[in-house]
Amino acid sequence: DAGVIQSPRHEVTEMGQEVTLRCKPISGHNSLFWYRQTMMRGLELLIYFNNNVPIDDSGMPEDRFSAKMPNASFSTLKIQPSEPRDSAVYFCASSPGLAATSTDTQYFGPGTRLTVL
Amino acid sequence: AQKVTQAQTEISVVEKEDVTLDCVYETRDTTYYLFWYKQPPSGELVFLIRRNSFDEQNEISGRYSWNFQKSTSSFNFTITASQVVDSAVYFCALSEPNTNAGKSTFGDGTTLTVKP
């Protein structure tokens, strides 16, 4: 069974450019999470979805960040315009249950290492 | 106030030593869940254990064991006879379904280095 798939694995871009990170959750999972990991701030939850619906985006840093989940098998995290301080590893995770009523284990993807020059 | 505290930023041991990673949490909920994750140098996050607040039995899985003590709000992780492959960053996390639905709060992590 394939785990959570993220693409690209590495992204290098210049300040001001649009960046789109992609995630395919484990089939059958109902919740999807986007995290950001930096040395300074550790692991932060940005947003999560239940059944493709965004539940809580309070962790999204600012309006430059947006996330969508058009269907159960795909989600994107977009940064526009990107800035050097957005450089981080972005993880996607999925979980079998609905995040609002369950605290099932989260299964993480390999992460996307983003570098904004 | 930080909800999950991993006071040990870095630990270094020699192979075959036992090592305990501390995790102290804070919550007002009676129902909550605790997790440990491992992040090896390759970067991925690997789930190790999930424990609910009503189950205080200690857990053992091979060389890994976990000591959950509600009286001290701690969920400590012990590796017995450590190996070089155990070198990683270990994260403790707390989930509170009633007051913080769906969110896991992570500690800052403990970097474990096991030297040969």
Question: Hey, how many other C-beta atoms are within 10 angstroms of the C-beta on A19?
Answer: 21
Distance from CA of A104 to the nearest CA of B (A): 8
Q: Is the Cβ–Cβ distance between B35 and B47 less than 8 Å?
A: yes
| Position B80 pLDDT exceeds 50 | yes
Overall average pLDDT of the A30-50 stretch: 88
Which is higher by pLDDT, A37 or B57? A37
Overall average pLDDT of the A106-112 stretch: 91
pLDDT of residue A112: 97
Q: Cα separation of B106 and B94, whole Å?
A: 7
- Bridge partners, B104 (sequence order): B95
Task: Grade residue A100 by pLDDT with cuts at 50, 70 and 90.
Answer: very low
Task: Grade residue A101 by pLDDT with cuts at 50, 70 and 90.
Answer: very low
Q: What is the mean pLDDT of chain B?
A: 90
E strands along chain B, which residues? 4-5, 10-14, 19-21, 24-25, 33-39, 46-52, 59-61, 64-69, 74-79, 88-95, 104-106, 110-115
DSSP structural state of residue B71: G
pLDDT of residue A102: 44
Task: Grade residue B95 by pLDDT with cuts at 50, 70 and 90.
Answer: confident
Q: Cα separation of B62 and B111, whole Å?
A: 21
Size of interface A-B (CB pairs under 8 A): 55
Question: Hey, how many other C-beta atoms are within 10 angstroms of the C-beta on A49?
Answer: 25
Question: Hey, how many other C-beta atoms are within 10 angstroms of the C-beta on A22?
Answer: 16
Q: What is the mean pLDDT of chain A?
A: 90
In B, what residues contact A, Cβ < 8 A?
33, 35, 37, 43-47, 50, 91, 95, 97, 101-104, 106-109
pLDDT of residue A99: 52
